[in-house]
Homo-oligomer: A and B are copies of this chain.
Amino acid sequence: MALKKFFNPSSVAIVGASRTKGKVGYEILRSMLDGGFKGGIFPINPKSETIEGLKCYPDLESIGQVPELVIIVVPAKAVPTVMQQCAKIGSRAVVIITAGFKEVGQEGRELENRVIQIARQGHIRVIGPNCLGVIVPGSNLNASFGGEMPAKGTIGYISQSGALMAAILDMANANRIGFSKLVSIGNKADINELDIIKAFAADAETRVIAGYLESIVDGNTFVNQAEQISLRKPILLMKAGVTSAGAKAASSHTGSLAGSEVAYECVFERAGIIRCSSIKQQFDYAQAFANQPLPGGSRVVLITNAGGAGIMAADSVEQHGLSFAKLSEETTAKLAAKLPASANIHNPVDILGDALADRYEFVLDTVLDDEGVDVVLVLLTPQAMTQPTATAEAMVRITHRKPAKTVLACFLGASKIAEAAKILKKGKIPIYDSTEMAVSTIKVMTDYLRWKTRPKRVVKLFAVNRRKVENVIERYLRRGSREIGEEDSKEILEAYGFVTPKGSIATTAEQAANIAQQLGFPVVLKIWSPDILHKSDLGGVKLGLENATAVMDAFDLMMHRIPKQAPNANILGVLVQEMCRGGKEVILGMHRDPHFGPLMMFGMGGIMVEVLKDVAFYLAPLTAEEAKQMLINTRTYKMLKGVRGQESTDIDAIAEGLQRLSQLVTEFPQIQEMDINPYVVGRAGTTAIAVDARISVEQS
């Protein structure tokens, strides 16, 4: 197990231990003692002889042996000295509880850097500073001032906020939620969220990884590793704080639509991370993952003694897009034989208000045998005849005998079901206080199942001309230009296998008409100048010119007007281009998130993007499945598939375009933002054309 010295140390020194109740140096020592830690505990404080009956040492060296874990609670300024002592005696694991570092400004940041420098030199790993500490129930280790030792369980918890961890512990203890480990990571000066998540992944005692984060240190590595870990253990995170990092001025569609929230959504989706919005929700989900098998599918059966509760749960099942298990004839026959006539033997199974525990037991037992059932949700309200406690006991009995399927409970009530709740929790059946939460837990489990069993991600690599793109980008960066011009953009697109519209530059009206004649009407005219980026704003684009006269008129008008509006622009001529018609216009885009790299975007052109913001994002690099999924995730997908007998658009061509773009922006981190807009796509078998592109680059 990684970080073993933090989680299962043979001995712990507390530097800054104190005799004064209420002081952190006292509370941590008290927690260690109350937790029943079996190894050596060495309080360090030059001013005391003993604390709480333990011999107290003036400094680390005088212990005479090397404590495996050192907890530091001395004032911030004294921390470097303690760290030097740790290095000297050879302690390799340190938790710095002390605050007053990076979080208080420049001076603190420098102090923190100094501490980490000493740590690196001394091969010391550090949790903190500015944290609540570490708790490992299985090692009887409560090296924290967060409160009582929680129960031992299988949830590994990581918190970036000490203040929230205090609340989390209090809520967990009241709800009998057990943990394998809890770590407050504070400023993450050395050990960060990913280190802990990896340690939990490798930890045999941890089944579920949960946490509260405000930031992620190394975006790319996090995504890749979290994805691997999610395949083995579910990761449930609260992520707070909509930062403004993604909000920097963006000139492309993709950029303006992608906030940092979008990036996190993409990251969580890619890495299979389950996002939670409150502590309660996180616990509600976590207890199911920790205690129940993953469902084999999404076919839910409801058992209830209250019609109303059944209806409310059924509403939720429908709203969440789960399916109702269709009970087999064998099952319904068995139910019919034993249940009262007015019971409903079909799903939702209503076993009536007078149902005693034995009726619950019989029905649960019976439906668990039905091959058409993946998940059972048992609903109960405490009516006059109801036996909540005996029902809970029966449920535990049955599920221990038949542990293969997911069984959840929703007992509505409080004091009347309190004893039952205890029994269910102890018996590893999660219990919920609303039908909505119970059903949304099932939803989250089936989503995770689907994610986990998706086909292996294979990113196709197209044969491209990488060198060509390199040259173009280098040329721009050398001269300090950020926006790639139209002709060069075309070269980049073609180098990566995109087809661009045919066309040539004309310098006279007659030449323009000739080119148009050769291309075939209608054509498009565009002013051609490296200095004009927003051509249409200046009247520099004319669409749908149907004959030679129209072409010549448009040419002359542009040459007449535009030099007046942009007197300093170097106008090289006018581009005469074939007009792509008959297909649908879509946008393929990319926005590079500062933390997580390229976010790919897809949207239908025109109002669908501009007004409705109907776009889908995904993290690059894209697989073929993901590229297709992006299309499916837009509301306009149906339009691509062809509405009312219209022919379907070439879905594969769009997906391939997205994959090629994904390859381009992955191979060239200099590309900051990029839109191919419009990308014109016809029916299957026709050639999709990248009509226009906007590419901005930066030294990466």
- Which residues of chain A have a CB within 8 Å of any CB of chain B? 22, 24, 27, 104, 145, 147, 160-164, 166-167, 170-171, 173-175, 212, 214, 238, 240-242, 277-281, 305-309, 311-312, 315, 318, 342, 353, 381-386, 412-417, 433-437, 607, 610-612, 635-636, 638-639, 643-644
Contact = CB atoms under 8 A, between A and B. Distances in A.
B636 A147 contact: no
B175 A434 contact: no
A635 B312 CA distance: 29
12 contacts: A161-B307, A161-B309, A163-B307, A163-B308, A163-B383, A166-B306, A166-B384, A166-B413, A167-B381, A174-B414, A240-B312, A277-B434
Given A27-B384, A170-B416, A434-B278, A318 B242 contact: yes
Contacts of A434: 277-281
B607 A163 contact: no
Contacts of A644: 610
Nearest to A172: B414
A647 to B, nearest CB: 15
Given A170-B382, A607-B639, A607-B643, A241 B164 contact: no
A412 B382 contact: no
A162 B352 CA distance: 12
Given A170-B417, A635-B611, A636-B612, A308 B384 contact: no
A364 to B, nearest CB: 19
Copies of this protein, total: 2
A92 B306 CA distance: 31
A198 B696 CA distance: 65
A163 B638 CA distance: 44
A172 to B, nearest CB: 8
A303 to B, nearest CB: 14
A390 to B, nearest CB: 15
A194 B221 CA distance: 60
A306 B612 contact: no
Contacts of A381: 163-164, 166-167
A214 B434 CA distance: 17
A145 B382 CA distance: 11
A308 B164 CA distance: 6
A183 B417 CA distance: 22
A117 to B, nearest CB: 25
